[in-house]
Amino acid sequence: MKRRDFLTHTSLLLGSSLLPVSTLLQASSELSAIPTIKPADWPALRQQFALTHDYIHLATFLLASHPKPVADAIARHRQAFDANPADYWHEHFMTIDQQIAAAAAEYMGGEAWQIALTDSTTMGSALVYSGLKLRAGDEILQTVHDHYSTDLSLQLRADRTGAKVRQVSLYDNPALVSVDEVVSKLKAGITAKTKVVVVTWVHSSTGVKLPLRAIADMLHELNNSRAEAEQIIFCVDGVHGFGIENVDVSTLGCDFFIAGTHKWIFGPRGTGVIWGSKRGWDNCHAVIPSFSRSYDVWLGGSTQDQVPIGEHMSPGGFHSFEHRWALPEAFKLHLQLGKAEVQARIHQLNSQTKQGLAKMHGVKLYTPMSAELSSGLVCFDYKQMPPDDVVKAMHKKGIIMSATPYRQSYARFAPSLINNEQEIERALAALQAL
């Protein structure tokens, strides 16, 4: 018996002897019956989290606590898998990735076929960079401000292809950075051999937010003078702007936008997305075999041209499905709150934080004051104290913050939607009292 026939036959047998999965889930349907949150209703949003009130949480960007709609969706999927894993998987695996990609596209822009599903920003970056079509001698230009995972993913690809990786600094003083400085320094680093440009939208090292549209316009101008095969592919690690900035990623001008969804989006832990332009995906090979419709191609049920490129690029195998399949709830929640309202709120709280720090004796602020060049991270030094010591001292005062995990480390606040103005003032007062 062929594998496809066996799976179909087994599924039919199970379905005939057990209640339908929809019936198994009916008892838990009330879990999702929560009141609709109105736009900009931040107190109501805070109530959707099981986060302890024993601390002021100023580092939730690291790994999200699941809000109730997401937690409930995870619970529903988990219950169904535990009750009847074979039937539940067979009922959904051919179509659910399409539904998740459609929910992602509704929130982030673009179209569902452009979106691949991953487990994290690190996985998404590795999939894109490992699949880039490069030749010996091609150059990859990145910045000194990128995360370790970007550095290593690019170097590993260069080692396998004979391409070269170079780095460029985009600013001398992050607090005084300008759009012109960023664009001119990046442009100066580009050579005739540059095939790929990689940047990080919001630097977790300094809190600087790059002007992506201005960078894309500069690259577009350079590409106009190049043959199609020599044009530069523009890749963005967007995780620390994703879930904050009110943008349509398809209008940013990049070819790849990569982000985890378990940070500012409040998505299930272990989820992420890649958005790719047609030109981007045309210049990238798949790295891990996909399931869903690509699996059906292998079985002979369809052809590869019937599989959306994003789905083809999504790693197959068995995942933490209850988490991945609950991801649409996070996008729905943000759309309920309002993308413009989310952006305004996070910038408001971060501006309050920066203004308070700027008035404080002993503080050196590294993040720009301008919302145009900053987002949800505020980095600083305090009274010559090592950043880790600042974090530990503040934790004893009931405030959870972080230090930037880079060779040059700073203390870091990250006010988010679960915070309020009073918490910011209490955190600033606690810092000043150290």
Domains (range + CATH), the chain: 98-335 (3.40.640.10), 339-432 (3.90.1150.10)
Tens-digit pLDDT profile for residues 284-313: 999 999 887 766 677 677 777 778 899 989
pLDDT at residue number 266? 97
What is the identity of the amino acid at 37?
A: I
Q: Is the pTM of this model over 0.75?
A: yes
Q: Please list the ranges in the chain whose pLDDT falls under 50.
A: 1-19, 23-33
Instruction: Output the six-digit token pair for 258.
Output: 């990569």
Tens-digit pLDDT profile for residues 39-85: 999 999 999 999 999 999 999 999 999 999 999 999 999 999 999 99
3-state SS of the chain is: CCHHHHHHHHHHHHHHHCCCHHHHHHCCHHHHCCCCCCCCCHHHHHCCCCCCCCCEECCCCCCCCCCHHHHHHHHHHHHHHHHCHHHHHHHHCCCHHHHHHHHHHHHHCCCHHHEEEECCHHHHHHHHHHHECCCCCCEEEEECCCCHHHHHHHHHHHHHHCCEEEEECCCCCHHHCCHHHHHHHHHHCCCCCEEEEEEECECCCCCEECCHHHHHHHHHHHHCCCCHHHCCEEEEECCCCCCCCCCCHHHCCCCEEEEECCCCCCCCCCCEEEEECHHHHHCECCCCCCCCHHHHHHHCCCCHHHCCHHHHHCCCCCCCHHHHCCHHHHHHHHHHHCHHHHHHHHHHHHHHHHHHHHCCCCEEECCCCCHHHECCCEEEEECCECHHHHHHHHHHCCEECEECCCCCCCEEECCCCCCCHHHHHHHHHHHHCC
Closest-CA residue to 138 (of 80, 196, 218, 203): 196
